[in-house]
A and B are shown apart, each in its own frame.
Chain A
Amino acid sequence: MTTRLLTLALLTSVGFHALLLGSQTLAADAADLHLHAQLIWGTDSDKASDKSLKPIPPDLDKRLRRIFKWQNYFEVIQTNFVVSPTKPSQVDMSRECRIEIAQQSGGEVEIQLFGKGKLVVKKRQRILPGETVIIAGDDKDYNAWFVVLNTLKPR
């Protein structure tokens, strides 16, 4: 008898937690997504030709150097923005470069990168807290560009 009661209690508890898990997943899917975007220029030159370029934070510099071959990385622009579940966000990273981010079902986001008005690449994936997504490519004179996206904690 005691065992049956214990089992009943166990099943009730598991069912309750399953409901809780489901509702939390729904809530997480429906939340605003807070993102930090940076446009970074990678080069082997010692100094940036443009004085407005800033060195990137040391931790990001370390991570980029572990993966990519360039010696120096400079920040062209950085911005924080919010993507609501219902409306995509557009962010101008430079005069010619724009990104559009939209939340998708299942907690995924769709990232679209535009260059000179044309859609260059479209990527869909889930971005976990603490994860970084980089879309990058070669630039002229053996340099490179990097669009770096990170999740931020909501305020």
Chain B
Amino acid sequence: MNRELQDKIQAWVDGELDASEARRIADLTQSNPTAQALANNLRGFRDLIRSHPPERVIDASRDFYWSRIRQGIESAETPSPTRPTPNATRFATRWLAWFVPSAIVAGAAIFVLRPDSTPIPTRQSQSPVLVEHVVESPLNEVSTLTFYSSNDAMTVVWVGPADIL
């Protein structure tokens, strides 16, 4: 089954197809066991996600959380009490004239000298939703869905249908 057909089945499961296209995919899933299995898996996964919405936990009381936001807004709106003197501005400009080219050279050095140019992902940089991992299966009847939960630092590959026990 090609990627386009998989996308069509997913759109059908999500109710995004027009009537004629939806009928065509419905007929296909009746006659094609692989398509039927994929549709069933997608429905199951959709129901799983719907029945378990992600929890958002804030490690502070409600009042404290909002007061921090208010303070942040107020401090951002308050004008700076001191303005830089002309001498300080001149010094900063001169320093920047050296610092900017140095930073560019340093950045180029890091880029060239790092043997592995692939970015090192951190927990924060990874997407909390479906992620692009390389998942393959040689079995036609097996479909996979990959999900990343950033709250739990957990990558889940749901495989179905597969008899492994």
Interface residues of A (CB under 8 A from B): 3-4, 6-7, 10-11, 14-15, 18-19, 21-22, 25-26, 29, 41, 63, 66-69, 94, 96-97, 106-107, 113-116, 118-126, 128, 130-139, 145
The interface residues of chain B lying within 8 Å CB-to-CB of A137 are 158-162, 164
Determine if B114 and A14 form an interchain contact, defined as CB atoms under 8 angstroms apart: no
* CB-based nearest B residue for A95: B165
Q: A14-B102, A66-B152 are in contact. List 4 more A-B contacts (CB 8 A).
A: A3-B95, A121-B136, A130-B153, A132-B154
Determine if B160 and A138 form an interchain contact, defined as CB atoms under 8 angstroms apart: yes
| Residues A115 and B164 in contact in the complex (CB < 8 Å), given A7-B102, A121-B144 | yes
Determine if B153 and A25 form an interchain contact, defined as CB atoms under 8 angstroms apart: no
Q: Which of B121-141 contact A (CB under 8 A)?
A: 121-123, 133-139
Determine if B142 and A121 form an interchain contact, defined as CB atoms under 8 angstroms apart: yes
The DSSP consensus for interface residues of chain B is mixed
The interface residues of chain B lying within 8 Å CB-to-CB of A138 are 44, 160-161
CB distance from B98 to the nearest CB of A (A): 5
| Residues A18 and B159 in contact in the complex (CB < 8 Å), given A26-B115, A94-B165, A139-B165 | no
Q: List 10 A-B contacts (CB under 8 A).
A: A11-B106, A14-B102, A69-B48, A107-B120, A115-B165, A116-B163, A119-B138, A121-B144, A125-B133, A137-B160
The interface residues of chain B lying within 8 Å CB-to-CB of A118 are 139
The interface residues of chain B lying within 8 Å CB-to-CB of A145 are 164-165
* CB-based nearest A residue for B138: A119
